[in-house]
Structure 1
Amino acid sequence: MSLGSAYAQSDSLRTLDRQLSRYSQQRLPEKLFLHVDRPFYVSGEIMWFKVYAVDGVLHKPLTTSKVAYVELLDKEQKPVLQGKIALQNAAGQGTFVLPKSLASGTYTVRAYTNWMKNFPPEYYFHSTITVVNTFGSVTKATPDQTATGIDAQFFPEGGHLVKGLTSTVAFKINDQHNQGVAASGIIVDQRGQNVAQFSTLKFGLGSFSFTPTEAGATYSAIIQLPNRQTLTRKLPAVQEQGYVLHLAPTADGLTITVQTPTPAEAADDILLLGHARQQPFVAVMGRFRDNKAVFTINKKDLPEGIAHFTVFNAARKPLCERLYFTPPAQQLAIQASINKQEYAPREKVSLQLATAGPGAQPLAASASVAVYRLDSLSTASGASINSYLWLASDLKGHLENPDYYFSANSPEVAQAADNLMLTQGWSRFRWDEVQTAPRPAPTFYPETSGHWIQGKLTHRGTGQAAPGIPVYLASPSRQPRLYSSISQPDGRLQFDLRDYYGPKEIVVQTNTQVDSTYQVEIYSPFSTAFAPTRHTALQLPESLRPELAQRHLQAQVQTAYFKKFTNQYTLPQTDSLPFYGKPDERYLLDAYTRFKVMEEVMREYVPGVLVRIRKGQFHFQVIDHLNNVPMTDDPLVVLDGVPIFNTNKVIALDPLKIQKLDVITSRYFHGRQIHQGLVSYSTYKGDLGSYKLDAHALLQEYEGLQLQREFYAPRYDTPQAQQSRLPDFRNLLYWNPQVTTSAAATDLTFYTADLPGRYVVVVQGMAANGLAGSHRIFLQVKSAL
């Protein structure tokens, strides 16, 4: 019987990799990357960005979601700017105008899709920018002479310290600005005896080995800081029983060793499961010998990127976990060249771009290009798409200079990457979710066709959910748009909006002729979950005052002379037809003798709609053109797209404010609703004229998808333009989020401004096969003679 139980346990363990595969299929991860034009702004400037959408497994462009949500968060995690960005072919673009009232500080830019809201907020894209309000005073920073702002954390490899077992312990030491601090120190036991020494390797990260000899004993780290002050921190508690995992790279791959001091725990089989981006790549059963189990992973089996190794016991409980990083062997090679290295003010710059894949073969890619001036304020570089997708997006918390881990194939870089894996490991899922069957349906679904407006329908008096009720959403305009939804059992509503751009008013209502006791609430589509961040007050040294004064002048000059050019938008290509398409009958009322009463208009000019009075109430009957007989029920009647359910109110409309009348003379299907024809009135301005909405209708301002702002830069291609007296103090010379490379080199041109200095050209790009890359080159603008 015990033998049968052991086999059952082993078989149960072997199913874990299949369960993970099924989980990944049902919870396919998405990733977003934002190329933000610059790292530093002054209040009043425009922030430009491009969104790249990829699947989280293969990092190939993913076209599933059609909307990305982008936010700018302050240090209190409160959104100060929000935008809904349309995604086409797995890419989108947008802008934020940073208000002149925006306070100086470090702000978080985050982005996600509706589907990504099913996962922890750490999974959203995050980056930081600095904004300075130059109308305020410069805060002088005083060097921190104390250890108050220093944070030190220690992480045993695999998760635990166990009595009598040697463990590798990683650590990270950060300052108040979340930057690594170079330090060294010793580990002492509770009697003050030195048991280990350590020092940081890179970015405040490091590791050391030691063997705890007593369970429950207190071990402490005494850290020597650069300012010769010391900091003491306790190590995690030592357990009497448990497991210790150790990963060691070899010439052929990896060796993973699991140890336990307890013979009873060593009697069971264990499973080593390796997965990368939720895809299992190895599942090996193991057995302890002398309280030790050893696994060997071949190098050819290791996936690129971050691999998770998790050890399970016979009860399918995860015992310990370890991460390992393998840099990707291939990336998108971007070649960028300019026609010379030094330019005069207002001179034309010719930029050539070419992208290639393995073997230097030309490879088409979608790219974005930013060119901005470098100064003492813009020294920080933004994230590169390759390091973000392969590294930063799969780690929790702030990552200092992720590009370093791709810089060279050297032992120091490899050790630094391993220290990073030991200190910032993270998994997007919990193993109990993987093993749960059946799994609950996700809360959020991908917006595959356009933006969704979601809400809830309740009974006005009780607040209880109202299921199975048709609800209509309209946005009054000259191009009528009407959307409908039927409330779910829990009262949820979902309206699938297409071609909805910019701020507009929406009207949401039920059929008040049937029941007026319902109340509608519209939800915000932005996530209310936030990843923990650590922002300190922005402090700028007095030495930066000249640079800040220059940036202030630049921003004011640009606002004064070029603001009218920065508020131009590319109108989206939308359907010019109303929501019901081409009508069967159309009446332009200006072509007829004008009547002052709508009843006369309907009776005299619209033979396809009969006007009837029953019990003192007006009713319309549309004549079915197929059978030439009137349909029995009232049609759907709309004014500028807004349904009117009481025909008496239609008759009361002022016909002099109505421009045209459309009629559908057959059954009209709208969503899951079937109507006996349709009658649509349109006012001259698309503003409902003098019609007053029903008191039970919800009228709300709602921001749709963001319109695409056109980037403006002056061109000095004529002598008159060259000699213009308008000052050109642009900090951002060029921004183009829609560059498409091909087999031949792509030529781009722009002009320098009046400000001399060093400028950087930043290119980010991605090919259809998932290869991503970035590149930087520099140019110099000399002073005018």
Structure 2
Amino acid sequence: MHRIVLSSLFLILIQYRISAQNTANSQTEDTSAIPDIEKVYVHTDRSCYTIGESLWYKAYLVYAYTNVLFDHSNALYVELVSPDSKIIARNITRLENGLGHGDFKLADSLGISAGQYQLRAYTNWMRNFDDRFIFNKTIEIIDITQKEDVTPVANNNAATSNSKTTISNNITSGIKHHSIQLFPEGGSLVADVSSVVAFKATDSTGLPVAVKGRVLDAQKNEITLFKSVHDGMGKFMLTPKKDEQYTAEILDDQGGSLEAKLPPIQHQGYVLSSRMVKGKRIITIKTNESTLQRDSNAPVTITCKAKGVTYFEGAQPLAQTSLSFLFPEEEIPEGIAQITLYDQHARPHCERLVYNNKPEGIDIALNLDKSQYSPKEKVTLSLKVKTKDGQPVPARFSLASVDANGTNNDGNMNICSYFLMTSDIKGEVYNPGYYFNNSNPKRLEHLDLLLLTHGWRNFLWKQFPVSKKPPAYKVEKGINISGSVRTLFGEKPMGNSTVSMVLMNKGKSILLDDVTDSIGRFEFNDIVFNGSSVMMLNSQNEKGKKWGLFRLDSVHNSPTKTNYTPILSGSLKTKTIKENIYKKHINYGVPIDNILDEVVLTTKKKQQERSKYGFADRTYIPNEKGLSFSNIFQLIQFSIPGIIASDNSIRFNRSNGPALILIDDVVSEMGDLQFVHPDDVAKIESINSARAAIFGSRGGNGAILVYIKEGSTNNRLKKNFHSITKLVQGFYEARTFYAPNYETESKTDIDTDIRNTLYWNPYIHPDENGTAELSYFNSEVNNTNVNITLEGITNTGLPIVVKETYRIED
């Protein structure tokens, strides 16, 4: 039987391939219209952390249609979102050739407590398109000093559709809060046409739940039985009858039940199905006699798209109730493909998502020099990435080595599952990494089941995302500083004025000039600098006179809106991790409070107040009931020891020249300072140490910062509006992951070493031979397993994940 079917399939395929070639030629002309869509994936060392630890990340920005690293945007916003949907930390990560890295210190000074957080990442350019391009990942933060876990939180924001059935009955059985969704393959049930119906069952928290049940007709006759086979998902066959109403009934062992109606039966229409026959994917179009009589020999059109690009299109008259053809897997890239059926009027009828799995074509090996190590012993890894014929494969990787007792990443998102699956479909996928683990023999079968449910008419790439014309958000190559210059009175635009900027960072200065346009606008674009820098702006009119009023734009774009709701907190897996880490602290005599080292240090340094320009050497806040002073110079001399102050100059007694004076962050002269009344002063700070280098050469004699009370009525300060001094933030300065070197450092000089992340390397680039070697030292934890995860992408856009495990034991 298969031989007959396959013979006819090949005849049909000839017609389709001719059409596909024509489509490919036309597609070449259309590709110029494809927008520059970016996608980003963020690899983290783990997905579960304790308060006080660091989260380390590596970002991969790719061209969405090919997954090739994309040197487009150079600024990536990476944010940590709290369980109540507030951004508590934000890094602007520098991207070079699509790659960047950074970290977050998960200190409770950020307001962090135990719970589920969201890590999200996006570029400014991505904001022109669908917000589903924003990367997000759930991060669990635990507090091992906390006796009880957070109560599980249900996800009440699950998307629903009128075309599928979702129900959750409030009955008294054990399944009263379960929900079942039913998905006819291709979209609809058609009378007298054999169809696959997929289903997905979840509990009240949105997690998958195993179920079994039966399908009943309107007279309660049992038609077929069904049972979930993976993560609450399964499928059954049904040949629906005209005008019949079918119901799916879920049963549990306690006699409880839950019912959900199947969608109405269509009298006419089409069904699109996919199945594997001897390793080949067969696509079948099915209909009934009623449709054939209505549309005798009418052609139907099949299109196949992958990531928005049409790779295949063919039209065929439908003269019988079933028509099949081979899926042209050679012409389609790896990943999710969307097959759509249109009738003769170009109306879409059916849609089916399939995963096109292709041989990798490369050999990659991550080898350990041993399978078992001792505590604090050196571990050496060798990486080889080559083609099947031994040619080196250019690729970029990041690697995390973690104590298995401190985390569990099995089934978590990885670069393969994200770029090849989850970024192309809607909905939260449970354990996405499962479908890309080659050790799971049924992963492709279960992946197809996932696409029957999650991908049911919810495919992201149905059409090219449409950007605004012109795009509202620009591609960012660096930090942009812009604003306008206006007259002091009337605030009229000052065109043709020269704006000079000095940017001082780590003893180096960037000098830039711009001339305002007819509406007084100026821009300094694509500036690259890291960390905090002091920016000084001055304006001059056409005659060279210092004049004008600055109106600065925000240096950095405001974050996109957050809409985060944790699905579950306090899971069994999280409790196990928490217990393991707690036991590790107890067994090795490390006080639990040491986790909060950063908090302790902050408490001890309360006398060192943090200024906008770093830590001030001295801070004085006047007391309303304290001493009174006749002028500002007396106040400064009283509040800052070692100051010599008069109405002519202010200097530190060990300095040869006057100190730099800033009033409300504006560089000021002595003549400005004398107008400040002591009662109007909110705070005085002094910086006279090496930190004054932040002001460049102007801070060589130290700096005095005076802040005026908000709304002060006696403030007669005359500011130099043509000059602005302000602290601005550049790209985040990523820290270097530290791990002890027990060959060069004395083991007795290192504190007890119970690291959860043993090693993190965000940049592993194989050499011209396709090889790389790296090493690190184990912690002193004994009798534990270590999980190594290597993630990355080749220059041709193939994402790669490799995992290894070894044992630490004396």
Paired residues of 2:195 and 2:237 also in contact (CA < 8 A): yes
Paired residues of 2:272 and 2:283 also in contact (CA < 8 A): no
The 1-side partners of 2:245 and 2:518 are apart by: 56
Residue 169 (str. 1) matches residue 197 (str. 2): yes
Paired residues of 1:38 and 1:382 also in contact (CA < 8 A): no
**Uncovered stretches (5+) of structure 1, i.e. residues with no partner:** 1-10, 565-595, 598-638, 658-679
Match of 1:717 among 729, 743, 746: 743
CA shift in 2, pair 1:197/1:560, >3 Å: same
Paired residues of 2:45 and 2:55 also in contact (CA < 8 A): yes
The 2-side partners of 1:42 and 1:412 are apart by: 35
What is aligned with 2:765?
A: 740
Q: CA deviation at 1:711?
A: 1.2
CA shift in 2, pair 1:303/1:518, >3 Å: closer
Once the two structures are superposed, the pairs formed by residues 385-784 of structure 1 within 5 Å of their partners are 385-407=415-437, 412-425=442-455, 426-429=458-461, 431=463, 440-447=469-476, 449-452=477-480, 477=504, 479-480=509-510, 496-503=525-532, 520=553, 524-528=557-561, 535-539=567-571, 546-550=579-583, 553=590, 556-557=593-594, 560=597, 684=700, 703-718=729-744, 721-724=746-749, 726-742=751-767, 743=769, 745-756=771-782, 757-782=784-809
Paired residues of 2:548 and 2:721 also in contact (CA < 8 A): no
Q: CA deviation at 1:713?
A: 1.4
User: CA deviation digits over 1:553-585, x for unaligned, max 9?
Assistant: 577546659999xxxxxxxxxxxxxxxxxxxxx
User: CA deviation digits over 1:737-783, x for unaligned, max 9?
Assistant: 12222227433221222221211222223332333322222222225
- What TM-score, normalized by structure 2, do the two folds share? 0.69
- SS of the counterpart of 2:183? strand
Q: CA deviation at 1:178?
A: 4.3
What is aligned with 2:230?
A: 202
- SS of the counterpart of 1:741? coil
The 2-side partners of 1:460 and 1:333 are apart by: 68
User: CA deviation digits over 1:90-139, x for unaligned, max 9?
Assistant: 21110011122412122222222223223323333333221112333223
Residue 78 (str. 1) matches residue 86 (str. 2): yes
The 2-side partners of 1:488 and 1:147 are apart by: 69
CA shift in 2, pair 1:734/1:98, >3 Å: same
- SS of the counterpart of 1:709? coil
1:375 maps to amino acid? N
The 2-side partners of 1:190 and 1:342 are apart by: 63
- SS of the counterpart of 1:727? coil
What is aligned with 1:28?
A: 36
User: CA deviation digits over 1:174-207, x for unaligned, max 9?
Assistant: 3355443222211223433323322222222222
The 2-side partners of 1:538 and 1:462 are apart by: 59
What is aligned with 2:114?
A: 104
Deviates more, 1:766-775 or 1:492-501: 492-501
1:22 maps to amino acid? D
Q: CA deviation at 1:43?
A: 0.9
CA shift in 2, pair 1:285/1:693, >3 Å: farther
Q: CA deviation at 1:296?
A: 4.7
The 1-side partners of 2:24 and 2:313 are apart by: 8
The 1-side partners of 2:426 and 2:482 are apart by: 30
Q: CA deviation at 1:356?
A: 2.1
Residue 356 (str. 1) matches residue 386 (str. 2): yes
- SS of the counterpart of 1:547? helix
The 2-side partners of 1:35 and 1:132 are apart by: 20
What is aligned with 1:612?
A: none
- SS of the counterpart of 1:192? coil
The 1-side partners of 2:671 and 2:527 are apart by: 32
- What TM-score, normalized by structure 1, do the two folds share? 0.71
2:141 maps to amino acid? V
- SS of the counterpart of 1:57? coil
Paired residues of 2:411 and 2:434 also in contact (CA < 8 A): no
Q: CA deviation at 1:89?
A: 2.6
- SS of the counterpart of 2:285? strand
User: CA deviation digits over 1:322-351, x for unaligned, max 9?
Assistant: 111122311654322233233332222222
CA shift in 2, pair 1:239/1:744, >3 Å: closer
- SS of the counterpart of 1:755? coil
Paired residues of 1:460 and 1:518 also in contact (CA < 8 A): no
Once the two structures are superposed, the pairs formed by residues 10-89 of structure 1 within 5 Å of their partners are 18=26, 22=30, 25-89=33-97
1:158 maps to amino acid? G
The 2-side partners of 1:294 and 1:527 are apart by: 46
What is aligned with 2:212?
A: 184
Q: Percent identity?
A: 24
The 1-side partners of 2:531 and 2:197 are apart by: 53
Paired residues of 2:484 and 2:550 also in contact (CA < 8 A): no
Paired residues of 1:334 and 1:353 also in contact (CA < 8 A): yes
CA shift in 2, pair 1:539/1:762, >3 Å: closer
What is aligned with 2:273?
A: 246
- SS of the counterpart of 1:359? coil
Match of 1:117 among 127, 139, 161: 127
CA shift in 2, pair 1:213/1:73, >3 Å: farther
Q: CA deviation at 1:726?
A: 2.6
User: CA deviation digits over 1:524-567, x for unaligned, max 9?
Assistant: 3533265x766123245877664242466577546659999xxx
Once the two structures are superposed, the pairs formed by residues 126-275 of structure 1 within 5 Å of their partners are 126-139=136-149, 146-147=174-175, 149-176=177-204, 178-215=206-243, 218-225=245-252, 229-251=256-278, 253-259=281-287, 261-262=290-291, 263-264=293-294, 269-275=299-305
The 1-side partners of 2:138 and 2:77 are apart by: 16
User: CA deviation digits over 1:32-77, x for unaligned, max 9?
Assistant: 2222101211011100011122222222222222122222233444
Q: CA deviation at 1:282?
A: 0.7
CA shift in 2, pair 1:761/1:238, >3 Å: same
The 1-side partners of 2:518 and 2:206 are apart by: 46
The 1-side partners of 2:523 and 2:300 are apart by: 47
The 1-side partners of 2:325 and 2:540 are apart by: 67
- SS of the counterpart of 1:418? helix
Paired residues of 1:51 and 1:92 also in contact (CA < 8 A): yes
The 1-side partners of 2:270 and 2:486 are apart by: 53
CA shift in 2, pair 1:315/1:83, >3 Å: farther
Paired residues of 2:285 and 2:324 also in contact (CA < 8 A): yes
The 1-side partners of 2:202 and 2:513 are apart by: 52
- SS of the counterpart of 2:397? strand
Once the two structures are superposed, the pairs formed by residues 295-306 of structure 1 within 5 Å of their partners are 296-306=326-336
2:174 maps to amino acid? T
Q: CA deviation at 1:268?
A: 5.1
Q: CA deviation at 1:472?
A: 6.5
2:567 maps to amino acid? H
Deviates more, 1:401-410 or 1:149-158: 401-410
Paired residues of 1:454 and 1:525 also in contact (CA < 8 A): no
Q: CA deviation at 1:454?
A: 7.9
Paired residues of 1:332 and 1:765 also in contact (CA < 8 A): no
Corresponding pairs, count: 663
2:140 maps to amino acid? T
- SS of the counterpart of 1:300? helix
The 2-side partners of 1:397 and 1:46 are apart by: 29
Paired residues of 1:504 and 1:703 also in contact (CA < 8 A): yes
User: CA deviation digits over 1:504-538, x for unaligned, max 9?
Assistant: 576889989998697856663533265x7661232
User: CA deviation digits over 1:150-183, x for unaligned, max 9?
Assistant: 3322212222233443332212223355443222
CA shift in 2, pair 1:774/1:15, >3 Å: closer
Paired residues of 1:561 and 1:726 also in contact (CA < 8 A): no
User: CA deviation digits over 1:586-636, x for unaligned, max 9?
Assistant: xxxxxxxxxx89xxxxxxxxxxxxxxxxxxxxxxxxxxxxxxxxxxxxxxx
Paired residues of 1:42 and 1:131 also in contact (CA < 8 A): yes
